[in-house]
Amino acid sequence: MKTDNYKNGKIKIQHGDAMDFYDLWESPVVIISDGPYGIGGFPGDPPTHEKLAEWYEPHIKKWSEKATPQTTLWFWNTEVGWATVHPVLVKHGWRYRTCHIWDKGLAHIAGNVNGKSIRKLPVVTEACVQYVKEPQFDIDGHKLSTKEWLRHEWKRSGMPFSKTNEVCDVKDAATRKYFTLSHLWYFPPAEAFEKLQRYANRHGEKSGKPYFSINAKKPITRKEWAGLRAKFNHEHGITNVWREPSVNGKERIKNGMKSVHLNQKPLKLMHLIIRASSDENNLVWEPFGGLCSGVLAAMQLNRHGVASEIDKNIFEHAMNRFENYSKTSKLSQQSSVQ
């Protein structure tokens, strides 16, 4: 199979530099970044973490341009690699949510540690860090965060903040949660937002209407409000420590006896992050595809997916992976029908 593009239902993988594709891809709901780690792991991966911030910046800039407030970014790296890139992510508008630690367990280093030369404890982890792209509201040349903007709009209406509790039918939760500037701030649920918006537009000072509007023409609706933050589907029993061995057995893609890609991520972890941050038919980006585990997981979860991989050989292995997956899933469908 010799092509630079591979399509299969809702997913597409492309051979080339991700920088050449961002402008062509639709806005993502999920971005899975599993690129260079600063360990010289593959051609183009800087030999140390020091150069990672510089390497990632053009990509991060593009992600920021194409992301919406619904987008979640999952940034995989070594702990120090992530620490190095974090300021660049913040500079381009990404807000840190949580650092997840992938613990591959002792088996990952079994037989590989030379106690005489190592001079540090062996590493069996990677970080997968969740970021969101919060909206910014342009007010008189200033950029306000959602919590600042909510206060700003209520203040403009000329009514006291204490009124918000009455409007939301709560004792003090509105002032304590939705209109505080502290870290205890809480995104008002859609129904509370709708009550506040309606009340302000009915009873606020006439001259300032509309309140809670982005376009100065009409207020934000309940549905639009719900779309102003990243998706998150909570599942009980999952924490920020993920105990999962490195990929092995049938899942590991091999060329003869040799693993094709040392960084192949477990589908189980890709499923976890995609389920948590998207719904069916949403779009998942995987700019540094490798064997495109993120896009394969997206396909299995009925999402759309796009990936790019710069290395031709790896790209071809990724295409074969999808072909084989399609064949085996068709076969298993046929046998379950018979």
Ligand X SMILES: C[S@@+](CC[C@H](N)C(=O)[O-])C[C@H]1O[C@@H](n2cnc3c(N)ncnc32)[C@H](O)[C@@H]1O
Site residues, ligand X (CB under 6 A): 17-18, 34-35, 42, 44, 261, 263-265, 287-288, 290-291, 293, 308-311, 314
At its nearest, how many Å lie between ligand X and the CB of residue 3?
A: 16
Buried b (16+ CB within 10 A) or exposed e, 246-276: bbeeeeebeeeeeebbebbbbeebbbbbbeb
At its nearest, how many Å lie between ligand X and the CB of residue 335?
A: 28
At its nearest, how many Å lie between ligand X and the CB of residue 233?
A: 22
- Point out the residue whose Cβ comes nearest to ligand X: 290
Q: Which is nearer to ligand X, 194 or 309 (CB)?
A: 309
Q: Which is nearer to ligand X, 128 or 150 (CB)?
A: 128
Q: Residue 227: phi, psi to the nearest 5?
A: -85, 5
At its nearest, how many Å lie between ligand X and the CB of residue 38?
A: 11
10 Å CB burial of residue 313 (0-12, 13-18, 19+) is exposed
Secondary structure (3-state) at 96: strand
Q: Which is nearer to ligand X, 103 or 134 (CB)?
A: 103
Q: Which is nearer to ligand X, 39 or 226 (CB)?
A: 39
- Cβ neighbours for 49, distance < 8 A, ≥ 6 positions apart: 37, 38, 39, 78, 80, 81, 84
Q: Which is nearer to ligand X, 85 or 291 (CB)?
A: 291
314: left (phi over 0), alpha (psi -120 to 50) or beta: alpha
At its nearest, how many Å lie between ligand X and the CB of residue 90?
A: 22
At its nearest, how many Å lie between ligand X and the CB of residue 135?
A: 28
Instruction: In whole angstroms, give the CA distance from residue 30 to residue 18.
Output: 15
Q: Which is nearer to ligand X, 168 or 284 (CB)?
A: 284
For the record, the structure tokens of 306 come out as 């796009």
Q: Which is nearer to ligand X, 49 or 261 (CB)?
A: 261
Instruction: In whole angstroms, give the CA distance from residue 328 to residue 316.
Output: 18
- Count of Cβ atoms closer than 10 Å to residue 290 Cβ: 25
Q: Which amino acid is located at 164 in the chain?
A: T
Secondary structure (3-state) at 255: strand
At its nearest, how many Å lie between ligand X and the CB of residue 147?
A: 34
